[in-house]
């Protein structure tokens, strides 16, 4: 088998749907509509130190994006948050490259992607931004890999993935890019590919026990964590030990869903939002897994349901730009949500 990688990709593809509460949720908090100008103040307990009692965090709204997007790749490079590709105005495949300067809270644009993509994996490594796979004009996914240099504002072709992939998980661990799962030619895969920028080569690592796409992923304290995804709104949580080259199955996610975002936040693996195509609903739930206690806890719900999202963390703030307010790709959002 093969490979994998991604930083907090989340995406969605279903028919028209409405924002609401999934029947499996343990609370009755409804999803609410958030206007770009509003400032949500929802607050609840949120863990910030491994194994320690929670402290308080809350959602707030940042400067809206210059355009509404969903099915994007998101990553932080230095103090900037980059948003790449995605759906725009209900249409798939874009060359969008938006940059948020978190020191000023303002957006600007940078060199567009070399090809129009959505469901692209995006990570930062070695002072560069990397865009991996994704759906483009050709069906079945792309094997293309690009890197972006900030100084020159220029994209460079890099060694391609061993096969076509989209909607996988891309993360950086020990100076290498891991691309895990996703779809290849319309089929869910468990492959795990690792890219070494020093040798410019991809190698194969242990595949996931469960093939999936549209999952959440992040690196927490030296291990890769992956949860949720498709098919069937998975609840399974997996961790990868790079020393043993082995996956482990951990306590399941409280609510199965797909098209989620994932992030490492406060030494937790955080899974945000998502959708349930069968119920035609978009979720507001935010769950955090503590690798020390091996338990899930609930963080503040999103002020409004989102799917097809990605997340990035700069300092002690988690950034969640755009996303779909309903299922599928027909509608996008320009909201920027901040958890801190």
- CATH code for position 194: 2.120.10.80
> Is the C-alpha dihedral spanning 228, 20, 284, 63 positive or negative?
positive
The pLDDT, as a whole number, for residue 51 is 54
CA nearest neighbour of 119 among 85, 152, 89, 145 = 85
Residue 298 pairs with which residues in a beta bridge?
287
Neighbour tally for 89: CB within 10 Å = 11
Strands 281-282 and 286-290: unpaired
Question: How far apart are the C-alpha atoms of 84 and 122, rounded to whole Å?
Answer: 8
CB 290 within 8 A of CB 314: no
3-state secondary structure of 15: coil
3-state secondary structure of 66: coil
The pLDDT, as a whole number, for residue 241 is 98
Question: How far apart are the C-alpha atoms of 26 and 39, rounded to whole Å?
Answer: 26
Domain count along the chain: 1
Give the C-alpha distances (Å, rounded to integers) separating 5 from 29, 173, 204, 206: 34, 10, 11, 12
The parts of the chain modelled with pLDDT lower than 50 are 1-47, 53-54
Around 188, how many Cα atoms within 13 Å sit in the side-chain half-sphere?
Answer: 13
CA nearest neighbour of 177 among 147, 149, 157 = 147
Counting DSSP H helices and E strands in the chain, the numbers are: 0, 32
Q: Which position has the token pair 């009755």? A: 28
CA nearest neighbour of 3 among 146, 166, 143, 203 = 203
Question: How far apart are the C-alpha atoms of 296 and 287, rounded to whole Å?
Answer: 7
pTM of the model: 0.86
The pLDDT, as a whole number, for residue 279 is 74
The pLDDT, as a whole number, for residue 328 is 86
At 118, give phi and psi (nearest 5°): -140, 170
Expressed as residue numbers, the domain containing 155 is 4-339
The pLDDT, as a whole number, for residue 139 is 81
Q: Distance from first CA to last CA of the chain, Å, rounded?
A: 40
The two structure tokens encoding residue 215: 């999952």
Neighbour tally for 225: CB within 10 Å = 25
CA nearest neighbour of 319 among 12, 83, 122 = 83
CB 144 within 8 A of CB 190: no
Give the C-alpha distances (Å, rounded to integers) separating 145 from 93, 163, 195, 281: 16, 11, 10, 33
Question: How far apart are the C-alpha atoms of 335 and 292, rounded to whole Å?
Answer: 33
Question: How far apart are the C-alpha atoms of 88 and 262, rounded to whole Å?
Answer: 22
């Amino acid at each position: 088998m093969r490979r994998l990688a991604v930083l907090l990709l989340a995406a969605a593809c279903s028919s028209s749907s409405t924002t609401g509460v999934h029947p499996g949720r343990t609370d009755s908090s409804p999803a609410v509509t958030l206007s770009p100008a509003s400032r949500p103040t929802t607050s609840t307990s949120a863990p910030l130190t491994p194994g320690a009692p929670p402290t308080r965090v809350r959602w707030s709204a940042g400067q809206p994006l210059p355009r509404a997007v969903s099915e994007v790749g998101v990553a932080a490079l230095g103090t900037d948050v980059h948003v790449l590709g995605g759906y725009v105005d209900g249409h798939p495949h874009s060359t969008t490259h938006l940059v948020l300067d978190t020191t000023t809270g303002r957006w600007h644009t940078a060199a567009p992607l070399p090809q129009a993509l959505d469901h692209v994996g995006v990570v930062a490594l070695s002072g560069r931004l990397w865009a991996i796979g994704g759906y483009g004009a050709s069906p079945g996914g792309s094997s293309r890999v690009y890197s972006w240099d900030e100084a020159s504002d220029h994209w460079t072709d890099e060694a391609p993935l061993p096969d076509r992939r989209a909607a996988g998980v891309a993360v950086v661990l020990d100076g290498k890019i891991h691309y895990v799962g996703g779809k290849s030619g319309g089929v869910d895969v468990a492959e795990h590919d690792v890219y070494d920028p020093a040798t410019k080569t991809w190698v194969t690592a242990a595949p996931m026990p469960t093939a999936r796409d549209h999952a959440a992923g992040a690196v927490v304290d030296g291990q890769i964590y992956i949860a949720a995804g498709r098919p069937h709104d998975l609840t399974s949580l997996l961790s990868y030990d790079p020393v043993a080259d082995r996956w482990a199955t951990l306590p399941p996610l409280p609510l199965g869903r797909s098209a989620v975002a994932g992030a490492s936040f406060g030494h937790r693996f955080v899974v945000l939002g998502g959708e349930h195509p069968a119920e035609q609903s978009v979720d507001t739930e935010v769950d955090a897994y503590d690798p020390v206690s091996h338990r899930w806890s609930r963080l503040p719900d999103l002020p409004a349901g989102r799917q097809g999202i990605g997340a990035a963390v700069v300092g002690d703030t988690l950034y969640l730009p755009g996303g779909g307010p309903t299922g599928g790709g027909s509608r996008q959002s320009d909201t920027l949500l901040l958890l801190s």
